Amino acid sequence: MSENSAMFKYDEYGNTREIYVYDSGSAIHTNAFINKGTAFTFEERRRLGLVSMLPPSTRTLEHQVENSRDKVANKENDIERFIYIRSLFDRNVTLGHALIRSDIARYMSIIYTPTVGLACQHYSSMFRSANGLHFYPGNIEYAEDVLRRFQQRDIRVAVVTDNQGILGIGDQGAGGIAICVGKLMLYTQGAGIAPWHCLPISLDVGTNNEALLADDDYLGWRHPRITGDQYIDFVQRFARAFRNVFPNALCQWEDFSKQNAFAIRDAYLHDLISFNDDIQGTGAVALAGILAAMRVKKEQLKDQVFLIHGAGAGGIGIAEQIRTALCEEGLNWQEAVSRIYTLDSRGLVTSDREMLPYKVNFARDPASLEWLKDKSDLSLENVVKKGGVTVLIGTSGQPGCFSHDVVQSIMENTDMPVIMPLSNPTDHAEAVPADLYRWTNGQALIATGSPFPDILHNGTSCRIGQANNVFVFPGVGLGVLASGAREVRPEFFTAAARAVAGFVGKEELAKGALLPPVTALADVSLAVAQAVGESAIKLGVSRNCAFSTFQHQDDPVRLKELIRKMRWIPDYLPLVPM
């Protein structure tokens, strides 16, 4: 059965209420959006030509979920669990999402980080069925025709990667599409964007991963990566085709190399409804943790001095978001930048040396820093000490670089330092939370990029909040779609950060947590969507979306109703034979 054999019928809120089916019999089982497996009722079996094609007994969705949970638990390791859940998703989308929803904290670590990294590396050998679209130099000229085949699904969100900067493991060629699939599953889990409205896309421009090029099983375009004008032309062809076919859809750029990530984001700021999660999502979730810390410290953002160790896409994204928030608190651009230090592998980023363009905005003028005498002053510990740093953020991937001496230096500047070792995976973290608590006698306010267990300090159990982008991007997507925003503005991510921070209650803050638990994902996403939608309306970039208009004082109330009612939850929908 092709996807054209089904038509999704929406209510006034854009939520799917029933599916029209234009086929019957065994073909029903080949469409994952329609298939219910043993949950088809007797009446559905009769009307859809499934009589005698299934065992006589039926199972409820709840029963199917419990059965699937047992099967997942019996798998030997997480990669086998990943394969099982992906296979389940490929044959029955609703059941796959219902399973994940039953224990989001457990299954998110399988469908996304850290297990999805292994799935990228073994994509070709693990290949079971096609997911999403693969554009490469041999077919990019047909991109618009290919995309039009998906118009009947009313694509609302696409996650697009060129596969070069995957999760700290680098160039994974065609395997990078597994990241897109995982991210879109989280869009569904968090924002309730139905899976048929989601489209993963790989821009396969080749790979410089020699191991993949030498692998007979490799399924990607077997060439070195194209660069320069050829690469730019390829991306432009895709962007033009996507805009022509899905002018109202959100395009999330994912896992591009550092410089390409910024260049592409900025190039299509006004031409596509798009953003880069590695830059802006990372910036927003880090800012959320900082804002929560300010509630504990009872201080203002503009009174802090920030140091970001690791000036890649994520690090500069965090700097951008802090700058935006500081400007919202009344500082001008120059004043905001003067409170932010960025460090890379060569130490403090200063304007008197060569650097990639994306770092320039946060390069400090050496002449403005009286304590900067020679190259030895560029070190992490010295900048923390002499620069008066109060908020220390790590995106460097250098394990242990937030040493005892560095932490003692920041303690000289503030009684309650904010320390956020955000590098993934766990063994790349700049510091271990238990050490940070011990070195600061429990005074440090901590958030991490990887999950860490609770810490017992002075008889109190302290939860370490995880700065996971999943708290941001699903809600941003839902807020953009609900408001009909015609572009994604930097202010959306500040609004998202404030919403995430506001979701952390006083009791959680008292336990040391700066971010919500993953189990609250759906509710956090609703709050983020509302904040983003209101920001779009306030900034005047909201247009008449497919399901509402926003031009009156009651806009936030109507927006809230729309956001809640347009969300899909994994439950079997009525099927109407045509």
Contact yes or no for 357/326 (Cβ under 8 A): no
List alpha helices for 511-554, DSSP H: 521-539
Q: Is 112 designated active site? A: yes
Rounded Cα gap, residues 185 and 173, in angstroms: 21
Cis omega before residue 114 (within 30°)?
Answer: yes
Whole-angstrom CA distances from 202 to 124, 177, 205, 271, 533 are: 14, 5, 9, 20, 29
Token couple for 518: 């993953």
Rounded Cα gap, residues 107 and 501, in angstroms: 24
Question: What is the dihedral angle through the alpha carbons of 385, 390, 395, 399, rounded to the nearest 10 degrees?
Answer: 60
Catalytic residue among 107, 112, 187, 358: 112
Helix, strand, coil percentages for the chain (3-state, nearest 5): 50, 15, 35
Q: How far is CA 323 from the centre of its chain?
A: 21
Phi, psi (5° rounding) for residue 545? -85, 180
Exposed/middle/buried for 564, CB within 10 Å: 0-12, 13-18, 19+?
Answer: middle
Catalytic residue among 36, 107, 123, 183: 183
Q: Tell me the residue type at 566.
A: M
Q: Which DSSP helix (H) or strand (E) runs through 57? A: none
Phi-psi region of 192 (alpha: psi -120 to 50; beta: other; left: phi over 0): left
Rounded Cα gap, residues 2 and 44, in angstroms: 20
Axis-axis angle for helices 521-539, 490-502 (nearest 10): 140
Rounded Cα gap, residues 32 and 205, in angstroms: 29
Three-state SS at 164: coil
Axis-axis angle for helices 380-387, 404-411 (nearest 10): 10
Rounded Cα gap, residues 463 and 283, in angstroms: 22
Q: How far is CA 70 from the centre of its chain?
A: 29
List alpha helices for 431-487, DSSP H: 433-439, 473-483
Question: What is the dihedral angle through the alpha carbons of 382, 388, 390, 396, rounded to the nearest 10 degrees?
Answer: -30
Task: Point out the residues that are catalytic.
Answer: 112, 183
